[in-house]
Each structure stands twice: as structure tokens, then as C-alpha cells.
A and B are shown apart, each in its own frame.
Chain A
Amino acid sequence: MNFYDYLSFVYGALSTVGVSFVAIIVGIPLGLGLALLRWARIPVFGKCAYLYVSIVRSCPAVTLIMLIYFGLPQFGISLNPFVAALISFSITATAFNCEIWRSSLLAFDRSQYEAAQAFGMTRWVRFRHVLLPQIWRSSIPGLINEMTLLVKNSPAISVIGLLDITRAAQRIGARTYEPIPPLLLGFAIYIIIVMLLIELQKRLETRIRSAGI
């Protein structure tokens, strides 16, 4: 492997982490919104949220990303591949985050919320100071787990020509006729990313515990 090969790994790692990171950032608030729609049992919207999650959750990453990248231009929306990847992963992350928030909401004791209501808190105050701190805390393991899932699905972006870690490894192997070393290097990078995420989870959990919320 030469210098440019290593450089392509760096580039691949950046797009892998970049896509996953952006998706989770977009997915957290949107997923929370959908979860709240279902939690509040708003008639039509709640059902729509359910349908959205059910369909997106079962759609393979490869299929979804091709739908976005090849399909949307039919309606005159031309996207560059990176934007298409971001949109596709955000759609997935939103659905998964909705499930994570929802299970935290289900575990949340509704009567607390009603108590807050009885004390005259406005809807926003109730949400911000009673609900959110508690469900945020119980959602962290799920959110980190979701992030690792996104990282593991990031090789899907190679089908629209983007370079991620796995694609970089495969390309180098095809050129040098020695497929195993670059694949192992790629694997090592994934291990590092996953371990960093687990470390992040530990940090977040200790911080939340010491903050006492």
C-alpha cells in the first residue's frame, strides 16, 4: 500500500464518520418529534409516524440510498452524492431515533407530567424541565447503539460512488491483488470508531449521573 492508499483510508473514514454524525444530529430532534406525535396519541399524525417508522426501519440502506440518489432527479431534484447520502441516512436515523425516544417515553411515568400540569407549568416548561431531562438520560445507550449501527451501514454509500472505509479497502485490494491486508486495516479503523463511541457513551453517562438529573 502506498501513501495515496493510506490517504484514501483517511478520506473514507471522514465520510463514514461524517455521514453517520450528521445523520444522528438530524435524527435526534426529528425522531423525538415523531415519538412525541405517537406519545401524545395525536390521531392521524400518530398513525403516520408509525407507518413511517415501520417502512423505513425495514428498508435496506442500499435500497434507500439508491431511491434518493437515482429516484429524486426524476422530479427535477438533482443531488450530489454526498447530499443524497446525508438525506438517506437522516431518514433512517429519524426512524430509529423515534423508536429509541418512544421506548424512553413509554418508561416515563405519565402522572409526573400531569403533576407538572397541575402545578401550572406551561407545555414548553413541562417538556423542557420535566420530560426531556429524564428521557434524554434513558435514551443515551440507545442513541450510541444507533450511531454504531449507522457506522456499520455506512458502506452503503459506495453504491452511489462515494468513498468510505470499506470501499477504500476493497479498491486497494483489487489493485494490489492482496485483498486481506487493506480489509484488515479497514476493520481496525471500524474497531477504533466503535470503541470511541463506547467511550463516549461512558463519559456521557457519568456526566449525567454526576449532574444528578
Chain B
Amino acid sequence: MNLTDFQIIYDERETIYQGIEATLSLVFISGVVSVFVGLVLTPLFFSKVSWLRKAVEWLCSAMRCSPFLLFVYVIYFGLPSYGINFDKYTSGLVALIVYHSAYMAIILRSAWVDIPADILEAGTAYGFRGAAMIRRIIGPLLLMRSIPMVGNQWIQIIKDSAYLGIISVVDITAAFNSIQSIYFNPFVCFIVAGLMYWLLCLLIEFIVNGVAHYARERIA
């Protein structure tokens, strides 16, 4: 390891930008979308319709048992046999969203169960119901109460996004891997890649802490 190794990385910055762009966009889109999908799935856990409830419970436990890469293979290699073809980037994005939505739903469900019963009852007593109840009372409380757990899940999304290099999405890890395979400087390449992930996670932690601070006095 010496200075020229870093020089190489600097010279290859175009590839690296490409990787950063892919990782950031994958993480950002799936991070936001999975929270929303999770919010939509969560009420189904409490649905009166039993097949709906069973379906969402099954989906969530399935995702909880499956490794992310296996699920990526299902989307990327499996779906085409049913006539559904995504390109590699879209496959990766869909896999991240579906897989982590299930985890978000689990997180939000446990936050829902933890909301003090009388706060929800006050909502009912004051005429809130259905969508208005979720939008005005349960939803905001749920999001604020589950911020730390959602933040952890976002970090999980960042880490899982690195698997997508295996189906040749050029993310951060794949970008550095392609550089090291040309210049034979794997140590520096993967160290720098690791540091980039670290910075990304620190950024998430920073944001989450800020929001958690805001939420602290609003969650009963």
C-alpha cells in the first residue's frame, strides 16, 4: 500500500462516481419507498379479513427467513420464467424494496402494538376511523416511535445493496472490484469502499438522531 494506490483510485474516479451514484440512488429510493409500503402493509396485520392478514404475515416471515441474495436471484433469474423481465438495476431495486418493505412492516407493527391504548381510543371516541385514523393519529405516532429501528433498517439496506454487484449492478463495491482487478491493489480499493459505506452509515445515523431528537417529546 502506498501513495500510488490512492493515485490510481483518483484516476479511476469516473468508475467510482458511477458506483456511488448507483448505491446512493438504490439506497435512497428503496429506503423511502419501503417505509411507505411498510406503512401500507402494517394495518393489514390487524385486518379483520383473515386471508389478508395471513398473506401479509406469510410474506413477512418469508422475507425474514430468506437471505437477501436468494431473493435477488428469485427476481433476477426466477421472474423471467414467468415472462417478467427487469434489467439488473431494476431487479436490484425491486428486490431491495420488496425485501425491506417486509422488514419495515414488522418494525412498524411492533411500534403500533406499543402505542398506549387510550390514545387510540381517544381517536375512536372523537370520531376518527379508517384512513383518517391512520393518517392523523396512528401514522405519525408510528413513524416517530419507530425512527431508531427504521434507521437500523436503512443501514441494512445500504449493506444489502452491495450484493447487487453479484448480478453486475455497478455499485460502490463492484466499482472498486473492477478497479482492483485491473491494477491489483485490492487492499486499498476495498478499504476505501468500506470507508465510503461507513460514511454513508454515519450520515444516516446523524439524520436519524436529529429526527429522533425532534420526535422524543411527541411520542408519549
Tell whether any CB of A sits under 8 Å from a CB of B in the complex.
Answer: yes
Residues of chain A at the chain B interface (Cβ within 8 Å): 54-55, 57-64, 66-67, 70-72, 74-75, 151-156, 158-159, 165-166, 169-170, 173-174, 178-180, 183, 186-187, 190-191, 194
Give the B interface residue count (CB, 8 A). 40
Chain A interface secondary structure, helix, strand, loop or mixed? helix
**Between-chain CB contacts (< 8 Å), 6 pairs:** A57-B155, A59-B194, A61-B159, A155-B68, A166-B70, A187-B65
Q: Which residues of the other chain, A, contact B201 by a CB distance below 8 angstroms?
A: 54, 57-58
Instruction: Compute how far the CA of A179 lies from the CA of B186 in the bound complex, rounded to whole angstroms.
Output: 33
* Complex: chain A residue closest to B76, CB-CB: A179
Interchain CB contact under 8 A, A63 and B187: no
Distance to closest chain A CB from B78 (angstroms): 5
Task: Enumerate B169-191 residues with CB–CB distance to A below 8 Å.
Answer: 172-173, 177, 180, 185-187, 190-191
Across-interface contacts of A74 in B (CB, < 8 A)? 1, 185-187
CB <8 Å contact, B187 and A60: no
Cβ–Cβ < 8 Å partners of B140 in chain A: none
Ranked 3 nearest A-B pairs via Cβ: A60-B162, A58-B201, A70-B186
Contact B186 A60 (CB under 8 A): no
The reply to whether A62 and B191 contact each other, CB–CB distance below 8 Å, is no
A71 engages B187 (CB within 8 Å): yes
- Closest beta carbon of chain B to A193's beta carbon, Å: 8
How far is the CB of B22 from the nearest CB of chain A, in Å? Answer: 14
Which one of A71, A153, A180 contacts B67 once the chains associate, using CB atoms below 8 Å? A153
> Contact flags (1/0) for B50-66 with A, using CB distance below 8 Å?
00000000000010111
- With the chains together, A190 CA to B69 CA distance in Å? 12
**One of A54, A70, A173 near B180 (C-beta < 8 A):** A70
| Candidates A59, A155, A194; contact of B69 at CB < 8 Å | A155
Q: How many residue-residue contacts, CB under 8 A, span A and B?
A: 124
Determine whether the beta carbon of B70 is less than 8 Å from that of A190. yes
Q: A169 vs B66: C-alpha distance in the bound complex, in angstroms?
A: 13
Q: Using Cβ atoms and an 8 Å threshold, which residues of chain B touch A173?
A: 73, 77-78
CB distance from B19 to the nearest CB of A (A): 11
Contact A67 B70, CB 8 Å, known A58-B155, A60-B159: no
Chain A residues with Cβ under 8 A from B66's Cβ? 152, 187, 190
Question: Residue B4 at the A interface, CB < 8 A?
Answer: no
Q: Are B70 and A186 in contact (CB under 8 A)?
A: yes
- A75–B73 Cα distance when bound, in Å, is 35
Q: Does any Cβ of A come within 8 Å of B165's Cβ?
A: yes
Q: Which residue of B lies closest to A153 (CB)?
A: B67
- Taking CB atoms, residues of chain A closer than 8 Å to B68 are 152, 155
Q: Does A63 lie within 8 Å of B81, measured CB to CB? A: no
Residue from A55, A60, A151, A155 within 8 A of B173 (CB atoms): A60
With beta carbons under 8 angstroms apart, the residue of A71, A75, A155, A178 that contacts B190 is: A71
Residues on the A chain within 8 Å of B132, using CB? none
